[in-house]
Amino acid sequence: MNLLQSINPATGEKINARETWQAAELDAVVTQTSDVAPQWAAMPIAERCELLRRTAGRLRERNKKLARVITLEMGKLLKESEAEIEKCAWVCEYYAEHAPRFLADETIVSDAHRSLIAYPPLGTLLAIMPWNFLFWQFFRCAAPALAAGNTVLLKHASNVAECALAMEQLMLDSGFPAHVFRVLLISSADVAQVIADPRVHAVSLTGSETAGRSVAELAGRHLKKTVLELGGSDPFVVLDDAELASTAEAALKARFLNCGQSCIAAKRFIVVEDIADLFLERFKSGIESLKPGDPLDPTTTLAPMSRDDLRQQLHSQVETSVAKGAKIVTGGQPLAARGSFYAPTLLDWVGPGMPAYEEELFGPVAAMIRARDEDDALRIANDSKYGLGGSVWTADRARGKNFARKLACGSAFVNGIVKSDPRLPFGGIKSSGYGRELSLLGIREFVNAKTVWIK
């Protein structure tokens, strides 16, 4: 039996520890969720959507309480936790409003008297979610899945069990029938048997590339639909006509939100060499203004990393990059304080063969790469195994649009920070995964696009 331990990243103090379930308890919960699935699917979609509206209201009522649980358990700034809860309310309201239209029968003209596409649910979805945006990543997956009539099992990261259970209670308090959504208190070693279970029909994972490959292999073995939202090393491309003051300010937010622990955080700052030194000076100034400290303190502007082992991994990537020729402009080391703090860091002269160029830096480290010109910047931006998001910064919107179309990624932004939005599809290509969440495309990932032909 393993323990799911919650440890405050800012202090290193243990919050709670829960024992993982035995096989019999796991089987009972999967059975309960499977048994209720037909009744949930048969409920009119308007009634399911009304429950999502109630959930949005509960999220807003409990915003400060839930945000505090997030901050204590995974360490992000309290104001960022509050914004995350509000975004979850938004996605619930979005699907409550649009799901009936997204899933309405579509008439198709054919040789039939009438033919149509219907969108019934697949059944029970296993959602495997990470710790960094632990409410948002669950709700952006679950809100459309539940609206469509699927039941949902959640295997959350092992260090955020208290947040997972808070979500389960929230859904019950919002009126969701028992067992339509359940949290699984299991270890990662138990996930394979849940994927293999014939009562589970599909899997959605947000996580690392390694986890994605494992889940895809397991699900493929059992012919189950998957959506994978994996890591990213998003390029932040600064062209020679960009307005540097506002671009450097945006770069600071794009890299250091959530202490840089975001799949769609800007990680590779690709700057045309004519303006590289000027951008570097402004970016460095912003980074050095960040104030590490207690994430519950409103004056803190840089949170701790979520776990100490992740901090050590990040530092190893920095040290190896420096050994291969990168230069530390500022930061570059763990901070000597309680908790998992790492100095906000800027590396310059990053190039191929370095971890800062090739790998995902999941923490408060920015890698600056100098490009000869626009064409070289595009080449560097696409010279990555990842393809989640990317942005380009320029005074010429037409130039930016043309550049964005050529970025090899799932979301390309012009003069804006990459973000997820319920109205727009979200997902990646290459080693950043496949499938889409959010928007019309997201709700249709876990339904059966079923042809109905009537003579």
Query: What are the tokens at 435?
Result: 């499938």
Tell me how far the alpha carbon of residue 437 is from its chain's centroid.
Answer: 10
Residues near 29 by beta carbon (within 8 Å), at least 6 away in sequence: 21, 153, 179, 182, 184
Are the CB atoms for 99 and 45 separated by under 8 Å?
yes
Residue type, 350: V
The span from the CA of 302 to the CA of 305, in Å, is 9
Q: Biggest alpha carbon distance in the chain?
A: 75
Query: What are the tokens at 48?
Result: 């399911």
| Whether 229 is catalytic | yes
CA neighbor of 437 nearest in space, from 166, 227, 225, 148: 227
| Whether 84 is catalytic | no
Task: Say how many C-beta atoms besides its own lie within 10 A of residue 286's C-beta.
Answer: 18
- Tell me the DSSP string of 173-238: HTTPPTTSEEE----GGGHHHHHH-TT--EEEEES-HHHHHHHHHHHHHTT-EEEEE----EEEEE
Residues near 235 by beta carbon (within 8 Å), at least 6 away in sequence: 266, 267, 268, 270, 380, 381, 384, 390, 391, 407
Residue written as token pair 């990842």: 386
88, 92, 259, 263: the catalytic one is 263
84, 162, 209, 229: the catalytic one is 229
Q: Which long-range contacts (CB under 8 A, 24 or more apart) does 398-401 make?
A: 399/239, 399/241, 400/239
Residues near 319 by beta carbon (within 8 Å), at least 6 away in sequence: none
What pairs with residue 128 in β-bridges?
155, 205
Angle of the 63-74 helix axis to the 45-61 helix axis, nearest 10: 70
* Catalytic positions, written as ranges: 229, 263
